[in-house]
């Protein structure tokens, strides 16, 4: 069982020759391009410390992540992504994400906030802390945006 000690919210946006290359470049911009992302569901463990900056991560490591990503090869399109968490006083919480083409950064942020409120309310909880990161980009040729909550030791 992986028991993460830290979590960090990151985001990035980039162009690329293809949508996949744009996604890779956005991951690099977010600081998580040289690791393997293992997508997990949206629960924040209570004992995880949230940090503002990533520690150096070993290249090729497999790390759990909750993320939203949007890629497009439609020049002029606006693409946006957001991820955030809501935590209770004991540290337990949920992580929610949203993204889309034609959505503004404000829209994806508000949707993440709504999802956090709904998920905690379903559990009979209210957040004591909410943090959200987001990114928006106007596509030039091929672009991608990513917002992620990465867990590590």
What CATH number did the domain enclosing 88 receive?
3.50.20.10
Domain that holds residue 110: 6-152
Q: Cα-flanking dihedrals φ and ψ of residue 138, to 5°?
A: -100, 120
State yes or no: is 19 an active-site residue. no
CA distance 100 to 131: 20
Count: domains in the chain: 1
The answer to whether the CB of 32 falls within 8 A of the CB of 150 is yes
Confidence of residue 56 (pLDDT cuts 50, 70, 90): confident
State yes or no: is 74 an active-site residue. no
Confidence of residue 6 (pLDDT cuts 50, 70, 90): very high
- Determine the average pLDDT of the residues in 130-134: 99
Q: Does residue 59 fall inside a structural domain?
A: yes
Record the tokens describing residue 28, joined without a space: 């690099």
Q: Does residue 1 fall inside a structural domain?
A: no
Q: Does residue 28 fall inside a structural domain?
A: yes
The closest alpha carbon to 101, from 121, 118, 81, belongs to: 81
Question: Which candidate in 15, 19, 21, 42 is catalytic?
Answer: 42
Question: Which candidate in 36, 47, 74, 104 is catalytic?
Answer: 36
Question: Which candidate in 29, 97, 105, 111 is catalytic?
Answer: 97
Q: What is the pLDDT of residues 83-126, one digit of tens each?
A: 999 999 999 999 999 999 999 999 999 999 999 999 999 999 99
Q: Does residue 48 fall inside a structural domain?
A: yes
State yes or no: is 42 an active-site residue. yes
Percentage of the chain with pLDDT > 70?
Answer: 99
57/144: higher pLDDT: 144
State yes or no: is 41 an active-site residue. yes
- Determine the average pLDDT of the residues in 19-40: 98
């Amino acid at each position: 069982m992986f028991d993460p000690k830290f979590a960090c919210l990151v985001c990035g946006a980039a162009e690329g020759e293809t949508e996949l290359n744009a996604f890779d470049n956005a991951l690099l911009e977010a600081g998580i391009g040289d690791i393997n992302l293992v997508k997990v569901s949206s629960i924040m463990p209570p004992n995880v410390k949230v940090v503002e900056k990533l520690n150096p991560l070993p290249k090729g490591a497999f790390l759990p992540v909750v993320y939203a990503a949007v890629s497009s090869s439609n020049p002029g399109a606006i693409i946006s992504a957001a991820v955030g968490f809501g935590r209770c006083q004991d540290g337990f919480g949920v992580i929610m994400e949203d993204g889309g083409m034609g959505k503004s950064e404000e829209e994806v942020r508000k949707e993440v906030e709504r999802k956090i409120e709904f998920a905690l309310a379903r559990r009979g909880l209210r957040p004591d802390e909410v943090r959200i990161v987001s990114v928006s980009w106007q596509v030039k040729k091929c672009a991608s945006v990513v917002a992620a909550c990465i867990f590590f030791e």
